[in-house]
Structures are given as structure tokens and as C-alpha cells.
Structure 1
Amino acid sequence: MSQTITQEIDADRRRWLGLIVLLAGAFLPPLDFFIVNVALPSIRDDFQASSSMMQLVVSAYATTYAVMLITGGRLGDLYGRRNTFLWGMGMFAAASLLCGASWSPVSLVAGRVLQGFSAAIMAPQALASINAIFPDSEKPQALSLYSLTFGLASMAGLFLGGALIALDILGLGWRTIFLINIPVIAIAIPSAYSLLKETRSERPKRLDVGGAVLIATTLAALIVPLIEGREAGWPAWSFISLACVLPLGLVLWRYELRLEAEGLDPIFAPSLLRTSGLKKGLLAALLFYALAAFWLVFSVYQQAGLGHSPFQAGLSILPAAAGFIVGPLVNPWLARRAGKYAAATGMLFQVFGLVYTAVLVARGSPEYLPLPLFLIGMGQGVGLPNLVGNIVKLVDRQSSGLASGLVTSMFQISGALSVAIIGGLFFGLAGGAQDRQMIANAYAASAIVIAACIFIAAVLSVALPKRQHS
């Protein structure tokens, strides 16, 4: 009897220690999306790179991550979640090493593509393993820690980027923001191997390689000319590429329809999009995550517009980090009282905060930015979980996993698109990034555009159907 109790205690301890490893895998992908923003001015100065190449450093990662996310989840179902997690972590370490040792902007972008690819293989295994390993009684607590990880990663990335550049460890400068991943993964891989139990789906779905390739091609045809076209003076190839987006999208749609009709496993189920309100919800998700571009333009404004160091730029984000922590704390109270309007309430906090920052920056009063930044962070902490919940509840329980994957992918696609479009607007208005007032005006215009996107997302979230599937 005592031996059985001891075994149960050991199994319980291993589960929670294993959760720490899984959370490290969930922490690194969002961290590496946000940590780059503060470092971009330093990277640009080091390589004498164009602003469009710097946008690619962000969007190449986000696009690859978005495209491969669902495929990465299916790899774990097929080949085992622990093994796939380990492979993803190993590839992420190699990609981080390539980024840290990059010798040109092109090699850095290549490293970021590989980072996005490996992050998409690694990250889905964390949530799938939590669902498989933890009993129902412990699952809510484990999932709460998983959700908290994303907020901490985004805020830690924005602060840590500036801190690491300021420390200038071994004279490596901005390269440490990538190399810091390697010791973390060096500890996590053997820990995952010894602590995590191998799990896999009882009925795994096949990989839709064709769908993944078509999505990647379509997004590349849209995003690359939006970023590179402006810098190159809008050459003919940029218009040809943009003209190919619609035909490629139609080919993708018909390909996925054919797979579903044949009873195969498309990367997304076209029939799911016929669910009442789901397309409206996914559009809301796309517009909501335009906030990803905010961290880019705010960081450049802090450094080029105010002359702050990367460390000071990182410190300036702390009010938003505090808001992001407070948001989830007040969310249960707000959700009980506001119901389906809780998502819109959070988004309106963000809209007010963004417009407030635009006014302060345009008037030359950056000392008052902490309050609106706090509102932006709090709005994100309230709006994000409620929007995801409102969208996922539109589908039946059997399809909730796929719907969650679609929402997450939509967020990542939005991150790439917003950096391309709103980042392009910012750099276009800022000119050569020498005149500080021009940079301030460019920031104000960009913040207003982001606020408009989030406001439309709030309206769409309110318009989602009241009747939801059980």
C-alpha cells in the first residue's frame, strides 16, 4: 500500500516538473517574436540594413509560425508529442544559433524562418501534452499556468531585449537575444526526455503538406511585396506578386474542398467556416492582433524619436506589462458581469490607450505615456481570452481544437500582415528616421490605424451570434 502511494506521489511530482519543461517550450516562441522589436534599431545599425529588411525579421518568423502551426500539432499526433517536442526544441536551438551568428540581413531572415518553422513544431506539443498527461482535477490549474505563460513571454521579450543589449555580454550586443535560448534549451531537452511521458493521438490525422505549401505561397505573395515593394520603389514584380494572391487563394480553397470531399484531412476544414458567425469571429481575430505592429513602431519611436537606449525602451514597456498582469486578474469579475461583451470592453481599453498615446506623442508629452500603456496592456489581458472563448464557443465541442488552431494561426498571420502594412506606413511617414517630429507623427498615425483595427474587431465581437453550440 505504501509503495503504491509513493509511486503516485512520484508520478504527480514528475507531471508538475514536466509541466515546467512544457511551459518553457510554450514560452520561447512568443518571447522570440517580441524580443526582436526592441533590438531592431541596433540590428539595423549593425548591418546598415533597410527598414523593409527589418520588417522581414519580424514578419518572416510570424508567417512561418502561422503557416506551420496546425501541421506541427499533427506531427505530434502522428509521431509522439514528446519526440516531436524534442525535435522542435533542437531545431529551435539551431535556428537561434544561426540568428545569433548571422553575418548579413539575409542570413538573419533565413534564421528567423527556421525559428518560426521549429517553433510551430515545438509549441503545439505543450498544450496537447498537458491535455493528455494531467487528470481532469489538475487540468484547470495546469492550463491557467499555460495561459499565463503567453502574457509573461510577450512582456518579458520587450523588456529582456533591451536589458540584454545593455548588458552587452561578451561584446555580442543584440546577438544575445537569440543566443540566450540555447542554454535554456540545453537544460530543457534532457529534462523533457526524462520527465515527459510519450503520448500520441489514438486517431491521428494525416499531414496536409499541399495545403501548408499553398498557404505559405499565398502569404509570401502578399507579405513580401508589401514589405519590399515600398523600399524598392514598387517594381513590376511586386504588383505581379500581389496579383497572384487571389488566384493562389482560390487554388488553396478548392484544394481543401476536394480533400474534405474525399474524406481526407485538410489543414483547415472548409465546412467549418460555414458555422454561423465563425468567419466574422476570425476576421475579428485578424484585426485584433494588429497590436503586434504597435510594439515595433513604439520601440523605434522610443529609440529613434526620443533617443532612448534599448534598455530604456525596454523599461518604457513595463506599464503595459503591469496592465497585462492586472487584466487576467480582473477578467473573471468582468466576464461575469459583461458576458459576451467582455472581449469588446477589453478592446475599447486598448483603443482608448492607443489614441491617448497618439495624442501625447504628437504633442510632445511622452512623460505621460505610462497610463495609456497600462490601459493597452490591461485591455489585451481582458480582450484576448474572451475573444478566443467567444469564437471557439461558436463551434461544437468536437471541432473546438481545430477552431482554436485557426484562431491562433489568424493571430500569427495578423502579426505578419500588420508589421508589413502598418510598419510600412510608419517607415514611409518617418522618412529617413532623422527628424524626430516626423517619427513622432509617424508613430501617432500608426497608433490611430491600429486603434481603428481593434475598434472594428470590438464591433465584430459584439455582433457574434448569441446562440452558441454546446
Structure 2
Amino acid sequence: MNPRRWPALAVMLIAAYMDLLDTTIVTVALPSIQRDLGASDAALQWIAAGYTLAFALALITGGRLGDMYGRKRLFLIGVAGFTVASALSGLASGPGMLIAARIGQGAAAAIMIPQLLTVVQVGFREDERPKAFGLYGMVLALGGVSGPLLGGYLTEADLFGWEWRTIFLINIPVGVIAFAGSALLMTESRAQQRLRLDPAGMLLVTIALLALVYPLIQGRELGWPTWTFVAMGAAVPILAIFWAHERRRSRVDGSALIDPALFHERSVIAGLLVAFVFFASTSYFFVLTLHLQVGLHFSALETGLSFLPFAGGVIIGSGAAGQIVPRIGRAVVTVGALVEAASIITMIVVVSRYGDALSAWQLAPGLVGAGLGLALVSATLVTITLSGVPGNHAGSASGLVNTTLQLGSAVGIAVIGVIFFAALPTGHPLQPGDFVEASRQSLHLAAGLAALACPLSLLLPATRPTRGAETVRETVAR
């Protein structure tokens, strides 16, 4: 047993915090980025969704690369790549460069993050793992709470005249520290069995998802030409080809990117469906940020502070889930989705009633409820989804669940963003009141998706996870 495992974990957690921070910190800086770079509405969607999409697409492959070539080696490559991509994001001269750098960040994170959880799983004794995963959970909570607040502060502080660029450039010293510490303290490990990559599978699923997401984000600005609908329709047969390829690879050498055997379990099919729909609904933060900053002229810091009630709801929900999951099992997912839908409806009512006089305090009850609902679903869904999966498929299944969560979020930003921007009037300068109707329409979709997750959750097996198995930290890479 490596005596440096705890110090090594500490520096790896620094890198994990850096990654999670960049998932949430950019949201409140979007209006500032748009003003400075002249970014279009579609570019804003790509800046937010490009990171998540790249992370989702490369996540499973990132974990397999670590098993094949060494987890320490891949972790260091991921940290280095993330740091370089952060520097390029901060130095971006235009929207295109920033989007490309954000995609690079997401791909690097997908190489980096799976190694952390695998190292904990193989490098710590069984009695040590709960503490190690608990520390990782604390980092997740800290990143979720501090991201919007830190992003708002750094953007508004305008350090060295860098404005929004600081949220990316701050990763450079943090990344250097994480790289040096990990290089010094981590020990190398890799899977004992021989594994192979599935590049064709990765290419097919990437093409299919881009065929769906790209037209959704770009279509409105281009006037919805015919090719956008053709591309979205083509995603279905491409996914069918991908599935046939995965079945063949599984039979030939067991190297499929996604093992088809996983879909023999009812819990996996139902869990992935609920995860995709529910996490697509959580993309309302994209809309609320633009409503508060562009529509109501909140500062970046004021916007970050406005989202603090959401973090409070997450903390309360995480604690409550640990107590009630062993008692009522899948019903927690149903209740959580219902709370999420009701909370978004509460925000719709508040936005409609107060219009351009809306304050952060008036949004607070809905945000607390939304955080509570998210925590209840997140703390339960993955465990139930994996409840019937054999141990030899646990790693692949957890990676698949993670990928689905990220894809749901990315597609949610694309679809909800299309509705939001399409509802904004054109031909005259936007007024605060113009954002009310746009937000109402997009929030209605978010509430509908959360509500849809309620009946879908009834497809989950009626399992009641034990207290020791409930934690999502052992199976979720974010």
C-alpha cells in the first residue's frame, strides 16, 4: 500500500476542483464574454455546452486509456491538457477560439477525472475508501457552491484589466501545482487484463451526437435551412450503426465502447432514460443567467450571489437523501423530480409576476427547491441504476451513466437555448420586459422535462439501497 496515497489524493482533488469549477464558473461570465468578443447567441450556447459535450463523449474512453497505459500517466496528461486549454481560453481572441479551447478543456477533463476515482478504488483499503470518497464529495459540493460566486467576483473585480479572462487564467498556477504534486506523489497502476480501444465506436457516437446538437444550436441563426433537419434525422441511423458495431465488437473481442450486455438490465435502461431527461431540465441556469445579467442588468457578482440558495438546497437534499433512500428507494427519485418541476414552476410564477422588478430574494424559494430536487435525484438515481449490474460491468456502467448525465445537460442547453433566443424580439434594442416571455417559455420546457422524469422513474426497479451502498461518489465521475 502506497504510504503517500493520502497526499497524492489531496493534489488530485485540487485538479478535480479545478475541473468542476470550470463547469460552473463560466455561466455568470457569459454576458461579459458576449460583450467583449462579440459572440453570437449560438456561440454562447457552444461555450456552455461544448465543454460538457466533449467531456461526455470522451469520458468512457478516458477511463479505458488509464487502464491500458497507466492511470498516473493519463492523469498527468489530463492535467497538463486542461491547464493549456485554460490558458488558451483566457487568451481567446474570438468566439471560435474560445469554443475550441472549451472543447479542449472538456476532453482533457475526461482523461483526468476517471483516473482519480479508479486510483481511489484500487489504491486504498476497503475501510479507507469511504473517507476518500467523502473528501471527493466535499470537493464536489465546494465546487458547486463556489463556482458561480467566484466567477462573478473574478469577472467583476477585473483583475489586471482581464475581466472574464481571469476565470480561465487562474487555472494556470493551480494546474501547475496539481501537475507537480501528482507527478511527485502518485504511483503508477494499470489494469491487469489486456484491453483495447474502440476508435470506430467513439467516432460513430461523436458524429451522431454532433448531427443532433449542432443543428439545434446553429439552426435558428441560419434560418433553419433544410440541412439542419436532415442532419438531425441522420442521427438516428448513425446511432443504429453504432449499436450494431458495438454488438459486433463485444462478440469479437469484448472491446466495445459500451457493452451491450448492460442493456439486459431493466435498471440500466430506465436509469439512463430518467438521467437524460432530468438533467436536460437542469439547463435553466443558462437562461436565468442571461435573464438576470442582460435583461435585468445584475452584475456578475450579484448573479453569483443570487444562485447561493440553490447551493443551500443541494446541501439540504444531500443530507436528507442519505436518511430516506434506505427507506423508500426509487420513490426518492420520483419525489426529487416532482420537487424540481414544482420549483421551476415557482420560478415561472415569480418571473411573470415581478417582471423587470424581479429580485434575487423572490427567486430564492424556487432555487432552494430546485437544489433540493437535484440532490434527491442525484444521490439516488445512479445507485439504483447500477443495482442490478454485475460487478465485472460496474466500471463500464458507471461511465455510461456519467456520460448520459453530461449529454442530457448539453442537449438541454441546446434545446432550451433555442427556445429562449427564438422568443426574444428582433428589430429593436431589447428591454427588460422582453426577457420575461423568453424566460417563461424556456422555463416551461425545463419544468416539463423535470415533470416527465416523474412517471419515467416508476420504470426503475423498486430497490432500496443499503446505507453503505447509497453513495453516488463510488460510481459517478463528477
Same fold by TM-score, threshold 0.5 exceeded? yes
Partner of 2:329: helix, strand, or coil?
helix
Partner of 1:302: helix, strand, or coil?
helix
Match for residue 44 of structure 2? 54
Match for residue 4 of structure 1? none
How far off is 1:155 after superposition?
2.8
Q: Is the 8 A contact 1:327 1:378 kept in 2?
A: yes
TM-score, normalised via structure 1 length: 0.94
The within-5 A match list for 1:137-286 is 137-286=127-276
The match for 2:400 among 394, 401, 406 is 406
Q: Deviations over 1:358-412 (max 9, x none)?
A: 1001111543211221111122122102011111113222222211111100011
The match for 1:63 among 42, 53, 61 is 53
Matched residues in 1 for 2:462 and 2:282: separation? Answer: 29
CA gap 1:221/1:43 in 2 versus in 1, 3 angstroms: same
Match for residue 90 of structure 1? 80
Matched residues in 1 for 2:25 and 2:181: separation? Answer: 25
Match for residue 318 of structure 2? 328
Q: Is the 8 A contact 1:38 1:310 kept in 2?
A: yes
Match for residue 424 of structure 1? 418
How far off is 1:323 after superposition?
1.4
How far off is 1:468 after superposition?
9.2
Q: Structure 2: which 5+ residue stretches go unaligned?
A: 470-478
Q: Is the 8 A contact 2:267 2:386 kept in 1?
A: no
Match for residue 441 of structure 2? 445
The match for 1:359 among 349, 352, 364 is 349
Q: Is the 8 A contact 2:267 2:388 kept in 1?
A: yes
The match for 1:125 among 106, 112, 115 is 115
The match for 1:464 among 439, 442, 460 is 460
How far off is 1:465 after superposition?
2.2
Q: Is the 8 A contact 1:36 1:177 kept in 2?
A: yes
* 2:398 partner amino acid: S
Match for residue 22 of structure 1? 12
TM-score, normalised via structure 2 length: 0.92
How far off is 1:339 after superposition?
2.2
* 1:163 partner amino acid: Y
Match for residue 78 of structure 1? 68
How far off is 1:277 after superposition?
3.7
Match for residue 126 of structure 2? 136
Q: Deviations over 1:221-264 (max 9, x none)?
A: 11111100111111233223223212211211111111112133
Matched residues in 2 for 1:468 and 1:209: separation? Answer: 38
How many pairs were matched up? 460
Q: Structure 1: which 5+ residue stretches go unaligned?
A: 1-7
Partner of 2:195: helix, strand, or coil?
coil
Decide which moves more: 289-298 or 115-124: 289-298
Q: Deviations over 1:177-207 (max 9, x none)?
A: 1111111111111111111121111114211
The match for 1:294 among 284, 287, 296 is 284
Match for residue 36 of structure 1? 26
Q: Is the 8 A contact 2:90 2:166 kept in 1?
A: yes
Q: Is the 8 A contact 1:285 1:411 kept in 2?
A: yes
Q: Deviations over 1:286-344 (max 9, x none)?
A: 01112441111111111122210111111101111111122212222222332221222
Matched residues in 2 for 1:279 and 1:357: separation? Answer: 31
Matched residues in 2 for 1:315 and 1:204: separation? Answer: 49
* 1:460 partner amino acid: L
Q: Is the 8 A contact 1:282 1:410 kept in 2?
A: yes
Q: Is the 8 A contact 2:282 2:446 kept in 1?
A: no
How far off is 1:213 after superposition?
1.1
Decide which moves more: 72-81 or 337-346: 337-346
Structure 1 outlier segments of 4+, above 3 Å: 467-470
Matched residues in 2 for 1:403 and 1:138: separation? Answer: 23
Decide which moves more: 77-86 or 151-160: 151-160
Match for residue 3 of structure 1? none
The match for 2:381 among 387, 395, 417 is 387
Percent identity between matched residues is: 36
1:312 lines up with 2:302 in the alignment: yes
* 1:436 partner amino acid: P
Matched residues in 1 for 2:147 and 2:388: separation? Answer: 33
1:106 lines up with 2:96 in the alignment: yes
Match for residue 371 of structure 1? 365
Give me the CA root mean square deviation.
1.8
Matched residues in 1 for 2:266 and 2:201: separation? Answer: 24
